[in-house]
Amino acid sequence: MRVCVHVRRCQEGSTPVEMDGFGSEFPAGGSGGKVDTGTIMEQVKVQIAVANAQELLQRMTDKCFKKCIGKPGSTLDNSEQKCIAMCMDRYMDAWNTVSRTYNSRLQRERARM
Amino acid sequence: VLHFHSYNFSASEKAEATELQRMIAIEQQKAQFQAQVHTFTDVCWDKCVDSPGSKLDHRTETCLVSCVERFIDTTLTITNRFTQMVQKGAH
């Protein structure tokens, strides 16, 4: 299963995780001496996106290890591999659901203020 | 707020730096949102997901939504009550 973490650039058949800013490329070419706001912002966005992906993977690994690996054997057997793959998909589904719910709640609270 | 001290920045450089600061603040806000989503997902996964299947069923989806809402309600309840306690002089 292909996973795409940049919703706007996801192709057909891959599962988008609703994050923004992951996978941006650095703009090509230099502009000489002056500091380019665009370049800095691209770097900031990439750094934040990378940190976000690392956080996701760390928590996902923790949850899926707990769910899928009972007594650790000498290798990961087939059922464990399948469980891990399913768990990853479900974790990202859960992440997206939580993201939407939180966003809605924030908008509701802002409307009240 | 940026403080331009002894450096000779042109007006356009100062404007650019201020704009940059504003844009970075927006990205930080987005990052804070993401961080909260990680926390909620962590907590609510434990509450709502027993064994991961081929998709999230309706019961699990509903649980996740409720979990996020109730977790936020809990945070607000605790914040408000704690504030009252502090104001009344409790330690």
- Identify the structural domains of chain B with CATH numbers, from first to last: 11-90 (1.10.287.810)
| Residue carrying structure tokens 């992906």 | A53
Residue B28 identity:
Q
Report the alpha-carbon distance of residue A39 to residue B16 in Å, rounded. 13
Residues 6 or more apart in contact with residue A70 via CB below 8 angstroms: none
Query: Which chain A residue has the Cα nearest residue B56?
Result: A90
Instruction: Identify the segments of chain A with pLDDT beneath 70.
Output: 1-35
Mutation target for A interface from B20, B38, B41: give the one with most A CBs within 10 A: B41
Question: Over its length of 91 residues, how does chain B's per-residue pLDDT go in tens digits?
Answer: 677 776 788 888 889 889 999 999 999 999 999 999 999 999 999 999 999 899 999 999 999 999 999 999 999 999 999 999 999 986 6
Give B-chain residues touching A105 at CB under 8 angstroms.
68-69, 72
Average of per-residue pLDDT values in chain A: 80
* Total residues belonging to chain B: 91
Nearest-neighbour CA in chain B from A37: distance (Å) = 7
d(CA B3, CA B77): 39
**Complex ipTM more than 0.85, yes or no:** yes
Maximum distance among all alpha carbons in chain A? 59
In this complex, is the C-beta atom of A50 within 8 Å of any C-beta atom belonging to chain B? no
Token digits for A76? 């990961």
**Among A92, B37, A15, A22, residue whose Cα is nearest residue A84:** A92
Output the pTM of the full model: 0.79
